[in-house]
Amino acid sequence: MSHYYTLGTIPHKRHTQFRKPDGGLYSEQLFSTEGFSNDYALLYHCHPPTQIIRTEPQQDVSPHIAEEKMLQHRSFEGFRIKPVADYLASRVPILVNNDCHLVLAAPQQSMEDYFYKNTDGDELIFVHEGSGVVTTQYGLLPFSTGDYIVLPRGTIYQIRFNDAHNRLFIVESFTPIRFPKRYLSKNGQLMEHAPYCERDIRPPQDLETIDQKGDFLIKAKKKGVLYGLHYGTHPFDVIGWDGCCYPFIFSIHDFEPITGRVHQPPPVHQTFETNAFVVCSFVPRLFDYHPQSIPAPYNHSNIDSDEVIYYVDGDFMSRKQVTRGMITLHPAGIPHGPHPGAVEKSIGAKETKELAVMVDTFHPLMLTREALEIENPDYIMSWAE
């Protein structure tokens, strides 16, 4: 995130004395996901953010791998993941590798008794259903259906949901999530050809400084293990901060589609990138306008990546029997394309109302036990005429 932002009160110079009204010093913290070599933020706490007073026994939350290797198209019914009250307990890894975890969740309750921190991965939370507020050290992030919530690794947060009806598609990335390089100027501004701009990015707002001492539980995940760390001061005791590394929200509804006279390839839908995968947004758009165009996508071979699509809403002319929350996996090594009859059916169509999130990983994904429990076993045969 290269867009500079600031909230609250900060000193004139970094790494200098910044005193409270009573003469004591605020505690400065540098926050970065790539050491001291990339974007960062400086936060100013009422108390040092280091005061652990006790710990809890660790808990193994690593994915249960069912299939490490496979070469066939797969499909999963995401809405068959059952709602669970607790936010962390509701998170179910479906497809995983060493670069990312693709997770489904249907939490029913807000986080009240603890805070959460993913120390391994940036989190991209797509809100399929639900609304509420993410509270962080940086301020508040109100969210609603269709929002991407981007949380840099190490961000401490709580989520307050407005009601019990929530569906989330979560991508945990073990390398930083960024805007695509080709969208950025040499100085880091989103350029004219990008499908969104800084005005579409919603940074934290309404910074609330909670200067409290007590017992505050932060559940922190590292290497598949959940640790319970109790701190003596509230983690949201920040009086001010500034920088370029912070959580933000971008709505899929603010993505401006790029169209052409003939069918455009998937990179025109790209929204985010990492070193190991890309994320694309398929949104309502006009179809191709060449007089002999074929709106349905052409058959193509996945040679370098596994392709995952999470279907959100609308009618998908290239697929049969698509349901909300459905996930398809088309692995590297075999071609795929429209289902039989979809090509002819698409000719003459003027627009699509489809809404979906695509994740293309550069290394193969593995299936978890939970993925097999929600699989459509006959999907591999759905191209047979």
Which tens digit of pLDDT belongs to each residue from 276-319? 999 999 999 988 889 898 888 888 887 789 999 999 998 776 67
**Both tokens assigned to 84:** 């669970």
Is there a domain that residue 112 lies in? no
What's the mean per-residue pLDDT of the chain?
94
Give, as one character, the DSSP assignment of residue 188: S
Is there a domain that residue 346 lies in? yes
Is there a domain that residue 158 lies in? no
Is there a domain that residue 174 lies in? no
Residue range 327-369, pLDDT digits in tens: 999 999 888 888 888 888 888 888 888 999 999 999 999 999 9
In this prediction, residue 374 carries a pLDDT of 97
Is there a domain that residue 321 lies in? yes
> Which amino acid type is present at position 275?
N
- Chain position carrying tokens 């191709």: 288
Is there a domain that residue 109 lies in? no
Sequence-separated (6 or more) residues with CB below 8 Å from residue 359: 100, 102, 171, 277, 278, 279, 280, 307, 308, 310
Contact yes or no for 62/225 (Cβ under 8 A): yes
Query: Residue 2: pLDDT above 70?
Result: no
Cβ–Cβ contacts within 10 Å for residue 166, how many? 24
Is there a domain that residue 210 lies in? no
In this prediction, residue 336 carries a pLDDT of 86
Is there a domain that residue 204 lies in? no
Which of 294, 384, 360, 381 minimizes the C-alpha distance to 95? 360
Contact yes or no for 309/302 (Cβ under 8 A): no
Q: Point out which residues pair with 248 in neighbouring strands.
A: 150
The whole-angstrom separation of Cα 59 and Cα 74 is: 31
Residues 313-324: b if buried by 16+ CB within 10 A, e if exposed: bbebbbbeebeb
Domain hosting residue 375, numbered range: 252-381
The whole-angstrom separation of Cα 218 and Cα 50 is: 12
Between 384 and 233, residue with greater pLDDT? 233
Of all residues in the chain, the percent with pLDDT exceeding 70 is 98
CATH number of the domain residue 309 falls in: 2.60.120.10
- Distance spanning both ends of the chain, measured CA to CA: 47
Query: How many structural domains does the chain have?
Result: 1
**For the CA atoms of the chain, what is the radius of gyration?**
22
Give, as one character, the DSSP assignment of residue 119: S
